[in-house]
Structure 1
Amino acid sequence: MFSYIRGVLVQKEPTHVVLDVQGVGYFIKISLNTYAQISAQKGEEQQLYVHFHVQENAHSLYGFASEVEKELFLMLMSVSGIGANTALMMLSAMSPQELTMAIVQEDVKRLKSIKGVGEKTAMRAVVELKDKARKQMPELLPGEGITQPYHRLQDEAVQALVVLGLPKATAEKNVRLVLRSLKGEDIALEELIKRALNV
Structure 2
Amino acid sequence: MIEYVKGELTELTPTSAVVECSGVGYGLSISLNTFSALQGKPDCKLYVHEAIRDDAYQLFGFFDKEERELFLLLNSVSGVGGNTARMILSALSPAELVDAIGTENVKILQTVKGIGKKTAERLIVYLKDKVKSTSIVVDGKLTLGQADPAGRIVFDEAISALTMLGFAPAPTRKVVQDLLKEDPAYTIEQVVKFALKRL
Q: Determine if the TM-score, normalized by the shorter chain, exceeds 0.5.
A: yes
1:151 paired residue number:
none
Amino acid of the structure 2 residue aligned with 1:127: V
- With CA pairs under 8 Å and 6+ residues apart, which has the higher RCO, 1 or 2? 2
1:123 paired residue number:
121
Measured after TM superposition, the shift of residue 143 of structure 1 is 6.5
Give the alignment's TM-score, normalised by structure 1. 0.69
Query: Percent identity of the aligned residues?
Result: 44
- Among 69, 72, 75, which residue is 1:74 paired with? 72
Summarize deviations over 1:83-102 as a string: whole Å, max 9, x none.
Answer: 00000000000111111101
Summarize deviations over 1:60-101 as a string: whole Å, max 9, x none.
Answer: 000011100000000110111110000000000011111110
Question: What are structure 2's unaligned runs of at least 5 residues?
Answer: 150-180, 182-199
Contact 1:4 1:48 in 2 (8 A): yes
Amino acid of the structure 2 residue aligned with 1:142: T
- Structure 1's consecutive aligned runs of 4 or more residues displaced over 6 angstroms after TM superposition are none
- Equivalent pairs counted in the alignment come to 147
1:152 paired residue number:
none
Amino acid of the structure 1 residue aligned with 2:25: G
Question: What are structure 1's unaligned runs of at least 5 residues?
Answer: 149-171, 173-199
1:14 paired residue number:
14
> How many angstroms apart in 2 are the aligned matches of 1:125 and 1:60?
23
Measured after TM superposition, the shift of residue 45 of structure 1 is 2.1
Give the alignment's TM-score, normalised by structure 2. 0.69
Give the root-mean-square deviation of aligned CA atoms. 2.0
- Among 104, 108, 111, which residue is 1:110 paired with? 108
Judge which range, 105-114 or 61-70, deviates more: 105-114
Amino acid of the structure 2 residue aligned with 1:141: L
Q: Secondary structure of the equivalent of 2:132?
A: helix
Once the two structures are superposed, the pairs formed by residues 1-199 of structure 1 within 5 Å of their partners are 1-41=1-41, 44-136=42-134, 137-138=136-137, 139=139, 140-142=141-143
Q: Secondary structure of the equivalent of 1:102?
A: helix
Structure number with greater Rg is 1
Amino acid of the structure 1 residue aligned with 2:21: V
Contact 1:80 1:121 in 2 (8 A): no
Contact 1:9 1:40 in 2 (8 A): no
